[in-house]
Structure 1
């Protein structure tokens, strides 16, 4: 009984959402709380087997992180991925969506599938193919460059070039999902806006910048936020292509966490790093919402 209104409480909505809430609490909320507690300990494999071997170390893991050159390198690499990769993904997916939005015949539908296919392809299969493309000695890319008398490029052997190579791969793989979002937003724009702009004498460039892009601002904001969060957790490409090398030149924060936790069994240290990444993502997301608050 609701004390304020005197009416009986309807329990059915709570029954419907209960399974989702229970799963969220068990597999999301509780693990986060446990991981937060682990980040203040020195838990490793011995501690996992016997909790009596676990010691509370306070903020030691966090202070060690910011004096760890490997972790600082991973932050720099992640920032490099985000600054270059996120704009490239957004611009590329928007450009593809604009081109494919001009028609609806079988050719345009086919190319929608072609552009979307990489985003649902297994990353291991992609890594095998791109590994051959990037191979320094007999890769297709260096073969094409040799035809125009350009020396071989060490695509995955030099740190900066390796980061750019992974960005190219990730952009190619990430266009599909964002393209679908932009296509849906483009097809939701009323045609009357375009007709009014054409009656006013606007050309295609003016229509693009004064009608289409302003009306895509909500889709662009959503794509920007989700893409940025995804790239800050950049993991699959460096994991399967370079394992963080050469010289930790492609090591991302997410890959650093994986290595510390699952290869070196430093669970407390890895948990601390994961919460540093979590805070970074929260800050960047809040900044984006702050800048778009007026809209």
Structure 2
């Protein structure tokens, strides 16, 4: 009996060692990523949770009062918020197709260049991404200047009068579109170029042997094989477009006549100018839900087509 118990104890001890050994390697992995997880929890998950919580309160510098869904009811009755939401959708509907089409076209033009030329253009197009939106926006602010901006200077060489690039509603809107496209198109170009370079040339050669022309090869080979890249570029560009803030704040501050105010800028004004943190949090929750729904719809549509 004692020998049998000893064998059972030894087997149990072996199983315990195997369990510990099985947990040891994953534990080391979790230990290495723990600092990053802590930062994510501190600077992302906690603010996200607190935003949802504050959206149910009337919160300002003096304190917090629970009011339930009143912030959301007043939000959808506020003309300023609805107007900024409309402009946000307008920006997305214009900017996202431009970036996708432009980046795809430029990448297609670069695909057959020599490696040295391709590397040079990669650097040129990626520079605005490295420069950050603030730097790019400040450069465009000087270019748009009515008195000494380079755009009006070029017009003067053609004996044309100066233009108030940011002084009219339509002019300011499309001026912001140009700035956003300038700093946003670099990364999609790099992604599309890498995706196109990954397509085997044997596929194009086989298609040519079957009598396929350039358009047939484009629609039958190139487009399907870069569908995942198009999906990624479309979703990420849509999310970033819905979060436009820097260019609005530095160039127009939502003007003229609130024609360029986006929902993110309205959240900023509500929180840090009016100090209505509860209302701003409700606006942030609405923006979060809109972005999530649009991203999910885009994922489903593009994947089904692919």
Q: How does 1:193-232 map to 2 (within 5 A)?
A: 193-232=203-242
C-alpha distance in 2, partners of 1:291/1:260?
35
Residue range with higher mean Cα deviation, 73-82 or 128-137: 128-137
**How many angstroms apart in 2 are the aligned matches of 1:77 and 1:11?**
53
Partner of 1:255: 265
2:201 is aligned with 1:159: no
For the residues of structure 1 that align with 2:156 and 2:144, how far apart are their CA atoms? 14
Q: 2:289 aligns with which of 248, 260, 279?
A: 279
- TM-score normalised per structure 1: 0.89
**Greater helix proportion:** 2
Partner of residue 34 from structure 1, selected from 42, 50, 68: 50
SS in 2 for 1:122: helix
The aligned runs of 1:109-258 (5 Å cut-off) are 109-148=119-158, 150-258=160-268
RMSD across aligned positions (CA):
2.4
Question: Hey, what does 2:26 align to over in structure 1?
Answer: 13
Which residue pairs with 1:79 in the alignment?
89
- Asked if 2 retains the 8 angstrom alpha-carbon contact of 1:100 and 1:112, the reply is no
Question: C-alpha distance in 2, partners of 1:136/1:156?
Answer: 9
Which position in structure 2 is the counterpart of 1:50? Answer: none
Please list every run of 5 or more consecutive structure 1 residues that lacks an aligned counterpart in the other structure: 48-53
1 CA distance for matches of 2:111 and 2:264? Answer: 36
Q: Which moved more, 1:15-24 or 1:181-190?
A: 15-24
| Distance of aligned partners of 1:38 and 1:135 in 2 relative to their CA distance in 1, 3 Å threshold | same
Question: Is the 8 Å Cα contact of residues 57 and 278 (structure 2) preserved in structure 1?
Answer: yes
Give the whole-Å Cα distance in 1 for the aligned partners of 2:212 and 2:158: 43
* Match for residue 289 of structure 1 among 299, 302, 306: 299
Matched residue count: 288
Are residues 14 and 26 of structure 1, via their aligned partners in 2, closer, same or farther at CA, if it must alter by over 3 Å? farther
- Cα distance, 1:149 vs. partner? 5.4
Q: CA deviation at 1:166?
A: 0.4
Contact in 2 for aligned 1:97/1:180 (Cα 8 Å): yes
Report SS of the residue matched to 1:268: helix
* 1:193-247 superposed Cα distances (whole Å, 9 cap, x missing partner): 1111222233333322222122111110111111111111111211111111111
Gaps of 5+ in 2: 1-13
Give the deviation of 1:46 after TM superposition.
2.1
Q: Deviations over 1:236-287 (max 9, x none)?
A: 2111111111111111111111121122221111111000000101111121
Question: What are the Cα deviations for residues 116-174 of structure 1, in whole angstroms up to 9, with x where unaligned?
Answer: 11111133332232112212343322333344455543211112221111011111111
Q: Given that residues 74 and 256 in structure 1 are in contact (C-alpha distance below 8 angstroms), is that contact kept between their aligned partners in structure 2?
A: yes
TM-score normalised by L of structure 2: 0.86
Q: 1:6 to 1:123 in 2, by over 3 A?
A: closer
1:51 aligns with: none
